[in-house]
């Protein structure tokens, strides 16, 4: 895969990355940033990625990985440098290569673009992104090609001024629109691949990544186009799709609308965070210009650190449905750990901010923001609601522990000792728990000493690392279990190879791990975690790989777990096929399909249950 050096394209293949990894001792590397002490076969130290009050980070020289058992930060040498220096994966490769004396110039080569000699660096890739956006804007303006996109924006009441201001475009419903246009300009294929604008075919050639989508350019704080978001205008189940990680784009450290919102955020000292592209555009259209959005991911510590540069206070405005409440709760945990002033607001009537503004107006939205709930008040209300709804002792204890962890996190993030001294709140909590107030205080301090206590293992709170979202439902669970089984028993790969492909994984971060793990096992069935991590670019992916590997070691019965997961995949494929067939049938043919399906089950032909 090609990355950028200083003005030249550098090919960092797996052999080179492994060479750098093997030349780097992770204990020596981390010791340059923090103090480590030997503990048995491992080394331990105070984690630099959260406010650690005891040595929580363990470094394994045997596996060449690190893991914080409090905040969940994990990875190899590349990931540590990425997180500690806040740099991209290619930059981390270059940094470590220079540290161990490996010259990268021998791997460099240049690629012409539109007749001009230029390497695939960030500056050049931004130009490619601009060229692509110009093509999509032409499509949007075309009387026939852009009709569906214009109709959609008209329905959402996005004005012509906003369309122009935000540079919206349209990727037509073709597999080769961008690819063919690039050929006519002499733009090399490597540019399209490096920018995530095209995907390589198995049998050679490329095809467009974005098809039949309204395109939103994503910029950095300077206005440079770093990536794209696309909203489907067809029946694609992936409603929104972002650019993959590139040398310019990392969704965990990017916010939509930041370049247009930063001045108002600075002058008002407040940042408003919403969920969608159109939410941001409509807010700005109504004159509320301190609004940004996350890019289809939960609010991360990276987002919070960016916002903290411009604003002292963050107000999160999410939908008031169950999913919105859950997303808000996860976001609050990240903000608490970062010690920022955070409040939460919900637009009512089952609307998103865009529709709410259109139906209720700017004054009503301003009131929603002005009446935003303080983070700890929201957490308290969530606790009270949970205690009212849950009847079992275990459920109540879980709700209380979640609240206590939030209080402890807030104290650690902001030093808000007054929360513990809040006599009224402590008294109410002590009464609910039938505990002495001093004992409640003691429990809070216990969570402060152990920031990760009670963590389920599939989310990371209290830390300056990305929050993991590994999906929900039986299919996501099956994807996790396949990876857990293969990490624990690599020989099981023969039962998966050719049956399940990485692209079958619907959860993005799991797909990234699957691609790395499958590639490593296909090359050598004795591959270890380090061989997989070196193929993973994102911090989130490395964190997930180590988490799944550890869970696989603990579970055991991996072959049985794998068989169950594969059956779950079969069930999903069957259900999807039936849905597709039903959609194609006439009403009078549906009953025939039901009778045929039942007869197949009776005859015991392999239909998954």
Parse the chain into domains and list their residue ranges.
2-109, 120-249, 269-373, 380-449, 474-566, 572-602
HEC states along 478-490? HHHHHHHHHHHCH
Q: Which CATH superfamily is domain 2-109 in?
A: Zinc finger, CHC2-typedomain (3.90.580.10)
Can you give the pLDDT at residue 450? 42
Backbone angles phi, psi at 550, to 5 degrees: -70, -40
Can you give the pLDDT at residue 9? 39
Spell out the residues 6+ positions from residue 125 whose beta carbon is closer than 8 angstroms to its own.
4, 191, 194, 195, 246, 247, 248
Distance from C-alpha of 438 to C-alpha of 415, rounded to nearest angstrom = 19
Can you give the pLDDT at residue 590? 60
Own/partner contacts of 152-159, CB < 8 Å, gap of 24 or more, are 152/214, 152/231, 152/233, 153/214, 156/278, 156/282, 156/354, 157/282, 157/358, 158/278, 158/281, 158/282, 158/285, 159/285
Give the class (CATH, top level) of 474-566: mainly alpha
Backbone angles phi, psi at 341, to 5 degrees: -80, 110
pLDDT in tens, 253-266: 789 999 999 889 98
Task: Fold for 269-373, please state it.
Answer: Dna Topoisomerase Vi A Subunit; Chain: A, domain 2 (3.40.1360)
Backbone angles phi, psi at 67, to 5 degrees: -155, 125
Strand ranges inside 265-390, DSSP E: 270-274, 291-293, 313-319, 341-347, 373-374
Can you give the pLDDT at residue 139? 97
- Give the DSSP per-residue string, 77-124: HHHHHHHHHT--HHHHHHHHHHHHT---GGGEE-EEETTEEE-S-HHH
186: its two tokens = 């002499």
Can you give the pLDDT at residue 463? 38
Taking 50 as the pLDDT cut, the residues of the chain under it are 1-11, 106-118, 413-421, 449-464, 603-609
∠ CA 90-95-98, rounded to 5°: 125
Distance from C-alpha of 548 to C-alpha of 567, rounded to nearest angstrom = 20
Give the class (CATH, top level) of 120-249: alpha beta
Backbone angles phi, psi at 52, to 5 degrees: -85, 130
Is 269-373 the same fold as 2-109?
no
Spell out the residues 6+ positions from residue 118 whose beta carbon is closer than 8 angstroms to its own.
7, 110, 111, 112, 124
pLDDT in tens, 340-386: 778 888 887 668 899 999 999 999 999 999 998 877 677 777 677 66
């Amino acid at each position: 895969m090609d990355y950028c050096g200083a003005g030249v394209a550098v090919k960092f293949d797996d052999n080179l990355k492994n060479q750098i990894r093997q030349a780097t001792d992770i204990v020596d590397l981390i010791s340059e940033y923090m103090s480590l002490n030997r503990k048995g076969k491992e080394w331990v130290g105070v984690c630099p990625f959260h406010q650690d009050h005891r040595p929580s980070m363990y470094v394994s020289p045997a596996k060449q990985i690190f893991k914080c058992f409090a905040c969940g930060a994990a990875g190899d040498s590349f990931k540590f440098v990425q997180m500690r220096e806040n740099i991209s994966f290619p930059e981390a490769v270059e940094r470590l290569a220079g540290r161990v004396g490996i010259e990268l110039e021998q791997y460099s080569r240049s690629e012409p673009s539109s007749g001009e000699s230029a390497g695939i660096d960030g500056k050049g890739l931004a130009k490619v992104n601009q060229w692509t956006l110009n093509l999509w804007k032409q499509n949007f303006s075309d009387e026939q090609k852009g009709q569906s996109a214009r109709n959609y924006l008209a329905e959402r009441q996005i004005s012509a001024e906003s369309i122009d201001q935000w540079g919206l475009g349209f990727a037509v419903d073709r597999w080769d629109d961008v690819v063919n246009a690039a050929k006519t300009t002499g733009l090399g294929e490597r540019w399209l691949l490096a920018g995530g604008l095209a995907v390589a075919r198995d049998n050679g050639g490329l095809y467009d990544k974005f098809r039949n989508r309204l395109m939103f350019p994503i910029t950095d704080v300077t206005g440079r186009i770093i990536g794209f978001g696309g909203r489907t205008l067809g029946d694609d189940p992936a409603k929104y799709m972002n650019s993959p990680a590139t040398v310019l784009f990392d969704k965990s450290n990017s916010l939509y609308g930041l370049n247009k919102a930063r001045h108002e955020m600075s002058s008002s000292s407040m940042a408003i965070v919403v969920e969608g592209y159109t939410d941001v555009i409509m807010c700005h259209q109504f004159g509320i210009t301190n609004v940004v959005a996350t890019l289809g991911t939960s609010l991360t510590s990276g987002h919070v650190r960016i916002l903290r540069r411009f604003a002292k206070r963050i107000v999160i405005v999410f939908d008031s449905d169950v999913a919105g409440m859950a997303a808000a709760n996860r976001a609050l945990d990240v903000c608490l750990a970062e010690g920022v002033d955070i409040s939460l607001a919900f637009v009512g009537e089952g609307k998103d901010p865009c529709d709410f503004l259109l139906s209720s107006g700017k004054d009503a939205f301003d009131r929603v923001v002005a009446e935003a709930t303080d983070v700890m008040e929201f957490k308290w209300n969530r606790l009270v609601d949970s205690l009212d709804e849950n009847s079992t002792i275990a459920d109540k204890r879980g709700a209380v522990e979640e609240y206590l962890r939030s209080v402890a996190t807030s104290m650690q993030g902001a030093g808000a000792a007054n929360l513990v001294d809040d006599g009224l709140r402590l008294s109410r909590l002590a009464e609910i728990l039938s505990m002495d107030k001093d004992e409640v205080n003691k429990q809070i301090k216990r969570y402060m000493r152990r920031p990760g206590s009670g963590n389920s293992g599939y989310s990371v709170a209290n830390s300056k690392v990305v929050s993991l979202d590994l999906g929900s439902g039986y299919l996501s669970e099956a994807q996790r279990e396949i990876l857990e089984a293969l990490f624990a028993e690599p020989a099981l790969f023969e039962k998966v190879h050719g049956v399940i492909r990485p692209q079958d994984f619907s959860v993005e971060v799991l797909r990234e791990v699957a691609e790395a793990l499958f590639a490593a096992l296909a090359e050598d069935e004795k591959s270890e975690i380090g061989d997989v991590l070196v193929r993973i670019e994102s911090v989130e992916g490395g964190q997930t790989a180590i988490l799944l590997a550890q869970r696989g070691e603990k579970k055991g019965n991996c072959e049985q777990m794998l068989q169950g997961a594969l059956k779950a995949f079969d069930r999903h494929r069957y259900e999807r096929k039936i849905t597709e067939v039903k959609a194609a049938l006439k009403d009078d043919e549906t009953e025939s399909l039901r009778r045929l399906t039942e007869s197949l089950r009776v005859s015991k032909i392999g239909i998954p249950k």
